[in-house]
Structure 1
């Protein structure tokens, strides 16, 4: 794939679909087209107030500004589920994480790890986490309905809260903050930086890098590889990266709907027939995450699961 970056501010940015969450079921067709053709889109009127989004951003910045020795306490046995320090692959990027954020006690453990004693900070993070988790489940249900399915098939899927900081400096402008990848989880909802851009999505057909410019008050939704497996290829996982457009701190807050905890993810029987044979082998989420790591394949590991006809 030849990738050509479309300049910041070009018409390409306007091609990212915008979905109005208060206009369903009328928006269902537009949503499914965005999922097939882009694998990413912005949502507006999503129910999370601008005030709460702003407060969450401020609290997140204060947590990411804590001393490294405190941030390192945000530990988890699995890499990437707790604190991610700056490293050789991403020298400007760091993140704090709370795995399975909706499970009882996990947010409290996150606060305790970081010695967060301020009731206001705990209230804001808790409130935002509930709101973004509820939104993620609602988005999953809308995808289910858009594919003609019913039921509550995402109940209990672990979700992860991650707050990201890009420690950009003027010398870093033009460099990459997060390298090209698809997401290993089913679905990501991102509150990106409302001032500093940098998120770029790869156009499915042309391979061009399309800037996803900031739009205050909105959220970005990305589909990951498990969405492709689960939908039997009907949905698209977007390749994307983060570039440094200007030498200022960039902050984003992501919520990942990861995948089922106790069973392998595969396409439901309703999406498999003689005209739509099963495309991918079912796989457990953690197994798929490790497959990506061991094969050093942040963009194409899903092809390792493709069933040869």
Structure 2
């Protein structure tokens, strides 16, 4: 197929043709972008209310008032640092950490591995799609939930659920396996430190084996690839949502594009500026539920970029699928009313994935 013909075809393509190229053949949106499309295919054009122009971003003269904290974790047990972490979890639901102990080289390596995987030819990437993957825990795909979305997201990803190093060795893609596993291992310490600090404010004196399982019993890591978009003003890279995790640990490159909704009723959106070597931390729904609403999971989204490729690598730190989540006993021990009912975590996650991104709607599943 001549490039010009292909460009014309996919600008006006029928849904079945686009699905065949992007999902079935494994080209992803990277394949569309690499063609040099000048116009966004209609399947990716968002409704007016979801386009970037419809979101009110914090004006320049209010940036200081809406500055999401950057926290130095070098002395993480110091009361001032602990307070900063907990305050950020309550007020913003997001913060960034520096001096967190994960070597810069490890972050650079996982970024390079992300590019390496997505630069594989389609017939290599498709081996990890839903139809062909050697494991249900390894999934290559595009957008979030294509069969449920009214408009598709401009993103490719590979999602890797960690079970054991033996399974990693046999099922994760060699192009990114070692660097991704190393990144996951190196974040273990900062995750435990953050949870220790956050639990202390909730009157949880010690994280025993049962609590550790509940807070961080499973992990999923995504390698996200956002190609250059021909009409970023009409598209989204990731739609409005909150995470279903306990915590999410995100490494983002220098491109920018992550926006967080202010948690003050203003409906303003705050850009999360890339900081060299920093990790972005955000509270997930599971921790909002366990803290009985004290810590906040907040909506966030990612804009498409018309000039640069963007990559990001989030680690979703979750309860085990078999765990039941609800307000922690220590939180409601003083008679505080439970705002959330107990739910099986796997049921909560299934509810999230059964629909398109829809802001904070998933947490309604757990409200009393």
TM-score bracket for this pair, using the shorter chain length: 0.7 to 0.9
Shift of 1:68: 2.5
Correspondence for 2:309 among 238, 246, 249: 249
**Structure 2 match to 1:65:** 119
Q: Structure 2 CA distance, aligned partners of 1:301 and 1:168?
A: 30
155-164 or 80-89: bigger deviation: 80-89
Unpaired segments ≥5 residues, structure 2: 1-53
SS class of match (1:82): strand
Structure 1-normalised TM-score?
0.86
**Structure 1 match to 2:76:** 24
Structure 2-normalised TM-score?
0.73
**Structure 1 match to 2:347:** 287
Report if aligned partners of 2:237, 2:303 keep a CA contact under 8 Å in 1: yes
Correspondence for 2:287 among 207, 227, 230: 227
The answer to whether 1:264 aligns with 2:348 is no
Shift of 1:144: 1.4
Shift of 1:259: 1.7
Correspondence for 1:192 among 252, 274, 292: 252
Q: 1:272 to 1:169 in 2, by over 3 A?
A: same
Residues paired across the two proteins, number? 298
> C-alpha offsets along residues 19-63 of structure 1, whole Å, 9 cap, x if unaligned?
222222221111111001110100000111112211211111101
Shift of 1:293: 3.8
Unpaired segments ≥5 residues, structure 1: none
Question: What does 1:151-166 align with in structure 2 at a 5 Å threshold?
Answer: 151-152=207-208, 153-155=211-213, 157-166=217-226
Q: Structure 1 CA distance, aligned partners of 2:61 and 2:288?
A: 30
**Structure 1 match to 2:57:** 5
**Structure 2 match to 1:107:** 168
Shift of 1:132: 2.1
Report if aligned partners of 1:74, 1:97 keep a CA contact under 8 Å in 2: no
Correspondence for 1:90 among 129, 152, 175: 152
> C-alpha offsets along residues 53-85 of structure 1, whole Å, 9 cap, x if unaligned?
112111111012112232222246898962122
* Greater helix share, structure number: 2
Shift of 1:298: 4.5
Report if aligned partners of 1:13, 1:212 keep a CA contact under 8 Å in 2: no
**Structure 1 match to 2:263:** 204
SS class of match (1:303): helix
Q: 1:178 to 1:161 in 2, by over 3 A?
A: same
Report if aligned partners of 2:154, 2:227 keep a CA contact under 8 Å in 1: yes
> C-alpha offsets along residues 181-220 of structure 1, whole Å, 9 cap, x if unaligned?
00011110000112x1100000000220000011111010
Q: 1:265 to 1:141 in 2, by over 3 A?
A: same
Q: CA RMSD in A?
A: 2.6
Report if aligned partners of 2:100, 2:190 keep a CA contact under 8 Å in 1: yes
Report if aligned partners of 1:140, 1:154 keep a CA contact under 8 Å in 2: no
Higher Cα radius of gyration: 2
Q: Structure 1 CA distance, aligned partners of 2:321 and 2:343?
A: 11
Report if aligned partners of 1:198, 1:211 keep a CA contact under 8 Å in 2: yes
